[in-house]
């Protein structure tokens, strides 16, 4: 009669070997397809945002799957692609002549340095700092211009992947649930949590930033700021960064205007601190709290990571990637830990939504 322990050991060895092969092949595939990671994340993000609409059109309105996908493409293009195109065009229009842009930026920094040194005796922008800033701006400007084609490639690939997700939505979700090596309850909770995180990051954060940028734009026009539309685009982008946010734009702008003898510079700073800051607080404590409570550090490190990996699109994908990583750590604790305290997060969700049931 075969030894039970030897049989168990043999089964474990086979299991470990098979998992090692799967892990190796997965890493190999991801390594060589890393270029398409932004496209995949973008497709998953849009899928989650458009999931209910897709099922409504197909199952309630009895649309063909390809027609529903085409309609979603049209709507998402109008809502997402056109504004993004406007922002990129606005910025690139100003920086496509990189050398001229750097010369103007140098003058901008010199004016601020002269004003701070004269009025407050603060030597904030010394020669070394100026040189480092100029080098960084040159690098980023060149990267922005050269990365436009890459962004178009990412968008095209994203919609290509999204099409197959939308036209085979039920099968796509069933496959994910089938291959997930987790408890069914955990799979449902992961789906619901990822849904709220993606919505908060992909919708909430840009909407809050857009609200601040619109309010700031009004102030830029009122107080006669130079290139208000460029400032609007920069304010929108920097408003996604927690803590400092739009101050990266309006504080240097105000100092620059004061250095030129325009007293409206101080009014721009005060306006943005009070009105734009109030807009930020109101939207964060209303809209974002309803969507999902995202810790500011998730956003900070997510943006840093996202910009390094994905470029401009990392402003959205970076925080999502960090949030999903933290979620998977919680899943691991719940799946394998015998300590009841580690399951506190999941105990708050004893009755998970059936939204991801297939």
Query: Is the pTM value of this prediction over 0.85?
Result: no
In whole angstroms, give the CA distance from residue 352 to residue 187.
10
> What is the pLDDT of the chain when averaged over all its residues?
75
Q: What is the DSSP letter of 342?
A: G
Instruction: Yes or no: say if 151 and 311 are a contact pair by the CB < 8 Å rule.
Output: yes
Q: What's the average model confidence in pLDDT over 195-210?
A: 80
Three-class SS state of 172:
helix
In whole angstroms, give the CA distance from residue 101 to residue 110.
14
Backbone dihedral angles phi then psi of residue 131, each to the nearest 5 degrees: -65, -40
Q: For 220-255, what is each residue's pLDDT tens digit?
A: 999 988 888 888 888 888 887 767 778 888 888 888
Closest CA to 273 of 297, 301, 253: 253
Q: Looking at residue 259, what is its pLDDT?
A: 77
Instruction: Yes or no: say if 239 and 245 are a contact pair by the CB < 8 Å rule.
Output: yes
Q: Looking at residue 145, what is its pLDDT?
A: 53
Which of 48-62, 99-113, 255-269, 340-354 holds the top average pLDDT?
A: 48-62
CB-based burial of residue 220 (10 Å sphere; 0-12 exposed, 13-18 middle, 19+ buried)? buried
In whole angstroms, give the CA distance from residue 312 to residue 4.
57
Output 28 or 335, whichever has higher pLDDT.
28
């Amino acid at each position: 009669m075969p030894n039970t322990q030897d049989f168990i050991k043999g089964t474990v060895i086979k299991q470990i070997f098979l998992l090692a092969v799967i892990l190796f092949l997965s890493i190999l595939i991801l390594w060589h397809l890393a270029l398409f990671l932004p496209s995949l994340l973008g497709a998953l993000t849009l899928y989650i945002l458009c999931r209910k609409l897709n099922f409504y059109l197909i199952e309630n309105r009895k649309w063909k799957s390809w027609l529903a996908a085409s309609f979603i493409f049209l709507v998402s293009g109008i809502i997402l692609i056109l504004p993004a195109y406007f922002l990129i065009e606005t910025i690139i229009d100003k920086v496509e002549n990189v050398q001229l842009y750097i010369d103007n930026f140098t003058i901008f920094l010199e004016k601020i340095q002269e004003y701070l040194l004269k009025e407050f005796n603060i030597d904030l922008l010394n020669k070394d700092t100026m040189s480092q800033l100029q080098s960084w701006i040159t690098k980023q400007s060149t990267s922005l211009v050269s990365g436009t084609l890459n962004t178009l490639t990412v968008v095209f690939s994203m919609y290509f992947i999204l099409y197959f997700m939308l036209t085979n939505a039920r099968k796509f979700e069933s496959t994910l649930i089938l291959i997930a090596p987790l408890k069914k309850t955990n799979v449902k909770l992961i789906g619901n949590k990822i849904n709220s995180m993606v919505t908060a990051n992909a919708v909430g954060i840009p909407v809050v930033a857009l609200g601040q940028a619109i309010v700031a734009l009004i102030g830029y026009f009122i107080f006669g700021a130079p290139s208000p539309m460029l400032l609007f685009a920069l304010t929108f982008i920097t408003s996604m960064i927690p803590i400092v946010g739009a101050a990266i734009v309006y504080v240097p702008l105000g100092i620059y205007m004061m250095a030129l003898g325009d007293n409206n510079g101080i009014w721009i700073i005060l306006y943005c601190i009070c009105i734009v800051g109030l807009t930020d607080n109101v939207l964060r404590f209303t809209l974002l709290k309803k969507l999902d409570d995202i810790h500011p550090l998730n956003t900070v490190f997510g943006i840093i990571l996202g910009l390094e990996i994905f470029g401009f699109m990392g402003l959205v994908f970076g925080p999502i990637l960090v949030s999903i990583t933290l979620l998977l750590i919680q899943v691991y604790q719940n799946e394998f830990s015998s300590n009841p305290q580690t399951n506190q997060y999941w105990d708050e969700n004893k009755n998970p939504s059936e939204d991801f049931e297939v």
